[in-house]
Amino acid sequence: MKRSISTRNIFLGIGLIAVVTLTGMNVYSLFELHETTIEAAEENKRNQIDEFANQLRYRFASPFFGLRRFDMKTVENHYLKKGTFPEKFHRQLTDAFNDPLFSDVYWSPHDLDHCMDSTLPIYRYDSENAEFKAVESVSDIVCEGIGLARSRSRALSSEYVHSYRTSFDTHRSLTVSLINLRENRVVGHITLLIDRDYLVNQIIQSQLQETFGNAEQSGVVLWLRDWMAGEVLAVSDTTYAYTGHSDQHQVRQRYTDLPDNWILNAQLLDSPAIAASDTSLFRNLIVLGTAVIALFGALIFMYITAKRERELAQRQAGFLANVTHELKTPLAAMQAAGENISDGRVADGERLKSYGTHIYNETIRLRKMIDKLLDVARIDSGQSIIQKSPQHLDQLVESWFRNHYNYVTSRGFKFHLNTEDRLPTTMVDVDHIETILSNLVDNAIKYSGIKKEIAIEVARNGKWMELRVTDRGVGISHTAQKRIFDKFYRIEDSMTARTKGHGLGLSIVRDLVHLHEGDVVVESSPGSGTTFTARIPVVSTAAPAESPAMSKPESIALPAKKKQPQAEPG
Ligand code: ADP
């Protein structure tokens, strides 16, 4: 037996571990999926920010891509001969020259420093006539732009690969140095002054808003800052102020080759994709939680049911052994008494009477036990027949009370009956009601200690007729109350151990009350007695016709009636 208990426990343990493990794995996968979704969403935003920075680079660099196919030696010769760029070359640059991003364009046809030597020629682009015109002097910005381009080109002179190089002087100018690859030397510099306002407001600000716009939708806010001046130049969503908080530096995009004191800061917010992933995670966790609770519930339910069934089987086996023993004992006693009488060994009247009483009592015991067994067998096989007839329950109970009064009081009990007046008729099976009463009163007798008092009550409670049997006996603990109606269940205490029984009486009571579409409940507390209430539905509200014979006080405690045949309950 122990083995089967531990096997069941092991299986329950395995089941619980499996549920916990599977749940853990599922929760882990859900969180991992959630993390991956968030990471993918963030990665996507980072790519968008990268892309944005590249677009700006492209905006600056793209007008000059076509210069690669020109041989700058030819360009230089053409310029030296005619004072203008070759037409194709000029056309290539027209877009850049006319781009409002550049406020002025200068051309210095040599790799010398005009700002050091003002005799060196330098030209400014006249967009109206589409030609370069010589100027006397130029601003410092032009000089610094050319100076920077010269030093950078010179530093890389051994690595010239393309026929031009672009150099930025922060956000102020862009200088394109034209390189004669054949002779490995710079032939001149075209310096384009950057219109900062146009760049910030018309290009960056508008592109930021166009690409990222409403931060709640795009899930990202970008600020373009001049970190040296500590100034915010542009923002993708103007409702978000730049505070310098670390959150706002989640992504930092430097423009190393472009305006290098400018920096693009980005803060990643919870985008709709992340919010959707949060909701889906929450929903999945709820579904998983419910499934796990249901699974746990089912496992524990199965465990408890299996345990109950095992206990029932144990009790049934014990019951069979008991019954066999209890059937044999009275039979043996009756056999011996019968033998003695038939052999003529017992002749005198007193002894004959005592043998007769003995046989009579043993027969009663046998009958009671066989009745109970038959009741159980009938109910179990669904053969229990109920023959209802309209009855006045109070009269029925009173008649039973009168018949058993002497038996109960002879055992030292005070026995009362209380019935309400003018109770309606009820559809009941008379035999079943007697069985119910017998079992309940029999128990009240068996499980009473020194306070020997039993009361039966019949009363109406709304649509129910209630039949109550109360004793002042040992009482029943709250836990045991849940199980006393189970078949073969007996409370494991010293009182029950001392009394005879098989745990069938209350199960029979409950089944018979159920056959009447009623219910039976117990109220009890250990040490202060027990009340069993059997409720049966009222079918007629008509009061019984009052007959002088049956008219009675509300409460009766009958004196013993000598001539009345006395019966044990059951
Ligand atoms: P039994 O044959 O053991 O009396 P029952 O089904 O009638 O079987 O009762 C089940 C158990 O409930 C009993 O073993 C007893 O422990 C408890 N019980 C029943 N009636 C009472 C009562 N009136 N007072 C205290 N305990 C009771």
pLDDT (tens digit, 9 = 90+) per residue, 45-54?
Answer: 888 888 888 8
Retrieve residue 109's tokens.
């046809």
**pLDDT at position 480, please?**
93
Residue nearest ligand 1's atom 14 by CA: 490
Residue 374: the pLDDT is 82
- Distance between Cα 504 and ligand 1 center (Å): 9
Query: Is the shortest distance between the CB of 96 and ligand 1 below 6 Å?
Result: no
What pLDDT sits at residue 258? 61
Burial level of 198, CB count in 10 A (0-12/13-18/19+)?
Answer: middle
Distance (angstroms) between ligand 1 centre and the Cα of 485 equals: 9
pLDDT at 564: 38
Ligand 1 atom 18: residue of nearest CA: 443
The two three-digit tokens of residue 234, written as one number = 């542009």
**Distance set, CA 261 to CA 81, 142, 157, 179, 241 (Å):** 41, 19, 26, 28, 21
CA–CA separation, 213 and 205 (whole Å):
10
Q: What per-residue confidence (pLDDT) applies to 536?
A: 94
| pTM recorded for the entire structure | 0.49
Q: Does ligand 1 have an atom closer than 6 angstroms to the CB of 469?
A: no
All residue ranges of the chain with pLDDT < 50 are 1-2, 540-566
Q: Do strands 426-428 and 389-391 pair parallel, antiparallel, or not at all (unpaired)?
A: antiparallel
319 within ligand 1 shell (Cβ under 6 A): no
Q: Ligand 1 test: best mutation among 506, 523, 528, most atoms within 8 Å of CB?
A: 506
Would you state the pLDDT for residue 260? 67
**Cross-strand pairs, 223:** 235, 265
So what's the pLDDT on residue 553? 34
Residue 311 buriedness (CB in 10 A; 0-12 / 13-18 / 19+): middle
CA distances from 141 to 118, 192, 225, 320, 529 (A): 15, 10, 22, 114, 108
Q: Residue 221: helix, strand or coil by DSSP?
A: strand
Residue owning the nearest CA to atom 4 of ligand 1: 501
